[in-house]
Amino acid sequence: MATSLSIVLGALVASIILIIVITLLYERRVSRLRIQIEGERLNMQKTAQDLAQKLFSQWSDASLRSIEAKITETIKRDYEVQLESWKKQEEKKIREDAVQKSINTLLGKIGEEFSPVLLSNRFGINLKDFRHLGTPVDFIAFKGLSDDSENVEILFLEIKSGKNSSLVERERKVRDAVASGRVAYEVVNINDIVGAFKEEVGKLSQDVL
């Protein structure tokens, strides 16, 4: 009886020990599994975060490009509208300015052509005595010539129609020559000139032969 009891107790103790060992082994395995699961969870979480960050970056880049394109298109349209408006205004100004300049130029030309009529009374010069040159002076007037005056005066007249009455360099040179008395009257016989030219040609022909 005692032996049977010892066997039963021994078997019971062995069973308990086996259960404890199995339980410890199971808990250890479960702990490892938990660690593995946590690692996988962290990996999946990191992968999910990276993927979410990547998707967000792609979305934000696409959104920014779309917004930038819309803003650029809006600004472009605004500038095109402003440019078109500015062009119309400037074209109107240019046309008006061109017309005004054409009118001023035409009036200036008319004034220059008909200025002897105005200058005739001012300087007491007969209209017949005006000679139009254009450059380097507009007119030369021979005051008293048609009136058989003994003292004929010669006037060099430069006509200005704009606000600026300053002379250009060529006109100043003529003015200074007149003011300094560097004016002469020469009588030239064209036959003498032609004869002299023939003599020179003849000499050159003899030298060549």
Q: What is the pLDDT of residues 163-195, one digit of tens each?
A: 677 888 999 999 999 999 999 988 888 888 888
As a whole number, mean pLDDT of residues 133-150 equals 89
Give the residue from 31, 29, 8, 27 showing the smallest Cα distance to 19: 27
d(CA 64, CA 23): 59
pLDDT (0 to 100) of residue 199: 78
Cα dihedral 124, 127, 129, 131 sign? positive
pLDDT at position 166 is 84
Q: What is the pTM of this model?
A: 0.44
pLDDT confidence of 60, banded at 50, 70, 90? confident
Question: What mean pLDDT is reported for the chain?
Answer: 80
